[in-house]
Amino acid sequence: MEQRKKIKSYVLRTGRMSNAQKYAIENYSNKYCIEYKEEMLDTKKFFKNEKLCIEIGFGMGHATSAIAEKNPETDYLGVEVHTPGVGRLLSEIENRELKNLKIIQHDAVDVLNNMIADNSVHGFHIFFPDPWPKKKHWKRRLINNEFCNILVNKLKKDGYIYTATDWEDYALQMFEVFSSEKKLENVYEKWAASPLWRPETAFEHKGLDKNHLIRELYYKRV
Ligand SMILES: C[S@@+](CC[C@H](N)C(=O)[O-])C[C@H]1O[C@@H](n2cnc3c(N)ncnc32)[C@H](O)[C@@H]1O
C-alpha cells in the first residue's frame, strides 16, 4: 500500500547564500553541526552542561547565538532546515567562540523522534514558527496536538516550552493545544509577559512592522 506523504511544516526555499554563509558552511560545519542520524544522540559527546535547550526553526539565528552567549551554563541545540540560516549561525558560533551551541540541519520532527531521548530536555524555544495563515494550510502548522505530545515526552520534569508568534489565530491554536495537555501547566494565566531574555528575531521584526501583536506562551511540564 502506498504510504501517505508526511505533511511538512516548511517549504525549502532556494534563498541566495551570501559568501560569508557559504564560507561558514564549508569551514565550520564539521566543528558545530551534528549529523542527522536515526539513532539516539550521545549528548555527552557534544555538550558539557547539565541543561539542554532545543530551539526549533531558528531562521537566521539572531536570538539563538545571543541567548547561548548569555547563558554559558546551558547547552543549546538549534534545529533548522534552511541552509542560509545555518550558514549565518555557524559564523556567529565561530565569531563569538560559543562552546555551548550546536546545530542539526534537518526536520525537527524527525530529530526529536529519532535522536532525542525522552525526559532529557530542559527547554524548547519555538520563536515565530511558520504561520501558514491560509486556513487550508493550517494542517502544516508545526504546533498541533501530535507535535505537542512529542515535546512533552522529551521534556524533563519542570522543563519548559516557550513559543512566540505574531499571528493571533496561531497563538490561540497554540494556547488550546498546550492547555489541553495535562502534563503542561501555563506559567501565566494566558499570554506570557514579554521576556527580557529573548532578543527580537527577524520574523518578529517583520510582524512588528505590520503592527502585529506579539503573543508569547510559557508552559512548564508538571
Ligand atoms: C517563520 S521562520 C522564523 C525564524 C526565526 N525563529 C525568527 O523568528 O526569525 C520559521 C523557521 O522554521 C523553520 N522550520 C519550519 N519547520 C521546521 C521543521 N520541521 N524543522 C526545522 N525547521 C523548521 C523554517 O525553515 C523557518 O526558517
| CATH code of residue 202 | 3.40.50.150
Does 36 reside within a domain?
A: no
- The residue length of the chain stands at 222
Question: How far, in Å, CA of 106 to CA of 113, rounded?
Answer: 12
Q: 206: which residues sit within 8 A by CB, 6+ positions away?
A: none
Q: Residue 44 domain-assigned?
A: no
Q: Tell me: pLDDT of 2 over 70.
A: no
State the Cα–Cα distance between residues 90 and 88, nearest whole angstrom. 5
What cell does 97 get?
A: 567562540
22 in a structural domain = no
The per-residue pLDDT for 175 is: 98
45 lies in a domain?
no
pLDDT above 70 for 162 = yes
Number of structural domains found in the chain? 1
What does the CA dihedral 69, 71, 74, 76 come to, rounded to 10 degrees? -40
Residue 23 CA to ligand 1 center (angstroms) comes to 22
Calpha distance 221→122 (Å, rounded)? 10
What rounded mean pLDDT belongs to the chain?
A: 95
Q: Whose CA is nearest to atom 1 of ligand 1?
A: 130
82 CA distance to ligand 1 middle (Å): 8
Residue 202 lies in a domain: yes
Over residues 12-22, the pLDDT tens digits come to 887 789 999 99
How far apart (Å, rounded) are the C-alpha atoms in residues 79 and 116? Answer: 12
Q: Which domain holds residue 163?
A: 50-221
9 occurs within a structural domain: no
Instruction: Grade residue 104 by pLDDT with cuts at 50, 70 and 90.
Output: very high
Q: What is the mean pLDDT of residues 169-182?
A: 98
Integer CA distances (angstroms), 212 to 86, 165, 169, 171, 191, in order: 27, 9, 12, 12, 15
For residue 1, what pLDDT band results from cuts at 50, 70 and 90? very low
Structure-block grid coordinates of residue 63: 536570538
pLDDT at 193 over 60: yes
Q: Which residue's CA is the nearest one to ligand 1's atom 14?
A: 57
Q: How many Å lie between the centroid of ligand 1 and the Cα of residue 183?
A: 25
**91-113 mean pLDDT:** 98
Among the ranges given (4-8, 59-63, 98-102, 177-181), the one the predictor scored with the smallest mean pLDDT: 4-8
pLDDT in tens, 71-92: 999 999 999 999 999 999 999 9
When pLDDT is averaged across residues 198-216 and rounded to a whole number, the result is 96
pLDDT for 5: 67
State whether the beta carbon of 159 lies less than 6 angstroms from ligand 1: no
pLDDT of res. 154 = 98
Residues 56 and 109: their CA atoms lie apart, in Å, by 9
pLDDT recorded at residue 43:
95
Of the chain, the percentage scoring pLDDT greater than 70 comes to: 98
pTM for the model:
0.97
pLDDT: which is higher, 194 or 112: 112
Report if residue 144 sits inside a domain: yes
pLDDT confidence of residue 6: 85
What pLDDT score does 4 carry? 53
Task: Kindly report, residue by residue over 109-160, the tens digit of the pLDDT.
Answer: 999 999 999 999 999 999 999 999 999 999 999 999 999 999 999 999 999 9
- With vertex at residue 105, the alpha carbon angle to CA 103 and CA 109, rounded to the nearest 5 degrees, is 105
Give me the mean pLDDT over the 169-191 stretch: 98
Residue 17 is assigned to a structural domain of this protein: no
